[in-house]
């Protein structure tokens, strides 16, 4: 084994990447409960499809839901089959996609950039906070990014071979196939982003005619339609309402999301710059330096062409979502592989060139990590003063219904982060890019390890798990075909996921409607918060408290023989 690794160091690099990120992405993956709203949304839709043995029509709370195509649902259904209906089963496909992406960046970058640079790019990508988060949560972005990266690589290979008078047809077809899979993951952007990137890249090379080769374009379109439109066509021809689902999928969740903020997810034009600085730390401090030093004009250089293509795609992603009205941090995940490849190139230097640029980058990274450490130290004080800060709103927050005790965890984490910042200062004194990269890699892995393996379980226990416990108690008191009332609890698909029951929303401003719900035979209990249960009792509606945990309450409405709720005292 040792001799094999010595002869082929790439095997050692792959093994190291697999070990590091296998642990980082898989350890404790089952422990945090499914998080509302988005993760609970995807996990519950796939659960309902799984128990109904349905592969075509997504449903949420028993009703058809066409917000997203089914690729993630299919992956989660496989996870449920192998590991059971739980958080691990819902997340495993994303964790594996994250690991695959880290390995893929090394493999595809090895030839144009060199093994050391591509290895660094894999470490940079895999250890960034946002990438780790999206590898450990059940959302569409990691699968989408994997398919995009494969699509880009095969498109680049096709163009490279064509420029050398070799056949790139099969590579282009493969690119179309992965664009089709991206369409099955998140819709129209699956083809839009790669198409725009290829178009712009060919313009920079002066080879736009390549795209219109009949041997490329016609079979490529057929492959794209056969894969990318397969679910849309099958659903349209088999669903009783035909293609009416396209209105919800494309009009509402494509065009309307772009043109106006949805579900309160708006932000300024620089929103993703802030997300990038925080979510890609500490590497984000070195990306501007890498961008400044990277050559862009030498189209005769394979390294330059490779970086240029991936960076064009990253810019397309960044610009598109910055202009879009609806903004969420996870949207820029597809841009991260290209940014990681660029950032890795700055550490190729044998010695530091441009002293002040390196110092600025190094101390920016130090300040980011130091800021994280200081925040951990002051977090308990902030939490203690939240009721005073939020005022009336604090009464409605379930987490603040009881005193919050964070223990020593924030101080231990803060101390480690501050020591990590000083470690980076010391490493920077060696004035060696490779030594600094090693220190940054260790720091990034320490930061993400603490955040997701230590900090997240604490957050989960305070914010998410209490509702899960209440939902599980509700399932014991509700028949299989019954429904659970959610009184002023908001959209909570995690309740459906953990109770395996349907839910129905109710408003405290319509007490008569609440009484009517509890008169139904299949409704026994409801879930609300301490604040709204108190309001209910103050309104003279008598309830029975059945179970409570950190501000969430399982209750029953007391109905007398006349079918009304007796007035409380």
297-355, pLDDT tens digit by residue?
777 788 999 999 999 999 999 999 999 888 889 999 999 999 999 999 999 876 666 67
pLDDT recorded at residue 568:
47
In this predicted model, which residue has the larger pLDDT, 394 or 98?
A: 98
Cα-based distances in Å from 187 to 57, 70, 71, 184, 363: 15, 10, 10, 6, 41
In this predicted model, which residue has the larger pLDDT, 406 or 479?
A: 479
pLDDT recorded at residue 292:
85
pLDDT tens figures, 163-203: 887 788 899 999 999 999 999 999 889 999 999 999 999 99
What CA dihedral angle connects 449, 451, 456 and 457, to 10 degrees? Answer: 50
Kindly report the backbone phi and psi dihedral angles of residue 503, in degrees, each rounded to the nearest multiple of 5, phi listed first. -125, 160
Rounded CA separation 24/22 (Å):
6
Q: Among 129-133, 246-250, 321-325, which is the least confidently predicted range?
A: 246-250
Q: Among 107-116, 245-254, 344-353, 493-502, which is the least confidently predicted range?
A: 245-254
- The residue written with tokens 């494509």 in the block is 254
Cα-based distances in Å from 35 to 301, 500, 503: 46, 16, 17
CA 169 to chain centre: 33
Binned at pLDDT 50, 70 and 90, residue 239 comes out as confident
Residue ranges per structural domain of the chain: 2-348, 356-459, 473-557
Binned at pLDDT 50, 70 and 90, residue 569 comes out as very low
Cβ pair 65, 58 in contact under 8 A: yes
Q: What is the mean pLDDT of residues 475-481?
A: 93
């Amino acid at each position: 084994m040792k001799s094999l690794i010595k002869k082929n160091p790439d095997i050692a690099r792959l093994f190291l990447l697999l070990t590091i990120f296998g642990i980082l992405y898989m350890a404790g993956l089952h422990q945090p409960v499914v998080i509302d709203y988005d993760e609970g949304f995807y996990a519950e839709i796939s659960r309902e499809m799984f128990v109904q043995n349905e592969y075509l029509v997504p449903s949420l709370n028993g009703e058809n839901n066409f917000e997203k195509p089914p690729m993630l649902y299919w992956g989660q259904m496989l996870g449920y089959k192998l590991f059971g209906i739980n958080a691990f089963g819902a997340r495993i496909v994303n964790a594996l996609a994250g690991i695959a992406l880290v390995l893929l960046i090394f493999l595809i970058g090895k030839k144009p950039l060199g093994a050391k640079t591509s290895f660094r790019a894999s470490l940079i990508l895999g250890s960034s906070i946002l990438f780790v988060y999206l590898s450990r949560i059940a959302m569409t972005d990691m699968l989408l990014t994997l398919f995009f990266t494969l699509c880009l690589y095969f498109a680049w290979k096709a163009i490279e071979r064509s420029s050398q008078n070799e056949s790139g047809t099969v590579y282009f077809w493969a690119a179309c196939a992965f664009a089709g899979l991206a369409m099955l993951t998140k819709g129209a952007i699956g083809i839009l982003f790669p198409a725009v990137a290829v178009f712009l890249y060919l313009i920079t090379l002066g080879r736009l005619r390549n795209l219109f080769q009949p041997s490329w374009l016609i079979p490529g379109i057929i492959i794209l339609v056969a894969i990318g439109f397969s679910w849309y066509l099958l659903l349209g021809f088999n669903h009783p309402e035909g293609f009416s689902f396209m209105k919800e999928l494309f009009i509402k969740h494509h065009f309307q999301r772009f043109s106006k903020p949805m579900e309160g997810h708006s932000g300024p034009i620089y929103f993703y710059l802030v997300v990038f600085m925080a979510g890609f730390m500490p590497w984000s401090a070195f990306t501007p330096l890498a961008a400044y030093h990277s050559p862009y004009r030498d189209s005769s250089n394979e390294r330059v062409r490779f970086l240029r293509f991936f960076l064009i795609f990253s810019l397309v992603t960044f610009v598109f979502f910055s202009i879009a009205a609806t903004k969420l941090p996870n949207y820029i995940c597809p841009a991260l592989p290209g940014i990681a490849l660029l950032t890795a190139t700055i550490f190729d230097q044998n010695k530091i060139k441009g002293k002040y640029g390196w110092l600025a980058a190094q101390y920016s990274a130090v300040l980011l990590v130091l800021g994280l450490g200081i925040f951990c130290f002051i977090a308990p004080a902030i939490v203690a003063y939240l009721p005073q800060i939020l005022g009336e709103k604090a009464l409605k927050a379930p987490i603040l219904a009881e005193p919050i005790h964070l223990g020593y965890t924030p101080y231990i984490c803060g101390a480690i982060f501050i020591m990590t910042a000083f470690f980076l200062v010391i490493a920077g004194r060696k004035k060696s890019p490779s030594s600094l990269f090693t220190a940054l890699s260790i720091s990034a892995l320490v930061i993400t390890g603490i955040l997701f393996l230590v900090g997240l379980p604490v957050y989960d226990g305070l914010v998410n798990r209490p509702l899960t416990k209440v939902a599980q108690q509700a399932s014991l008191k509700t028949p299989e075909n019954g429904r659970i009332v959610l009184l002023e609890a908001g959209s909570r698909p995690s309740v459906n996921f953990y109770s395996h029951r349907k839910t129905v929303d109710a408003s405290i401003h319509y007490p008569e409607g609440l009484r009517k719900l509890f008169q139904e035979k299949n409704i026994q209990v409801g879930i609300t918060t301490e604040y709204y249960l108190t309001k209910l009792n103050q309104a003279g509606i008598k309830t029975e408290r059945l179970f409570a945990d950190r501000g969430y309450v399982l209750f029953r409405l007391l109905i007398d023989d006349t079918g009304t709720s007796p007035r409380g005292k």
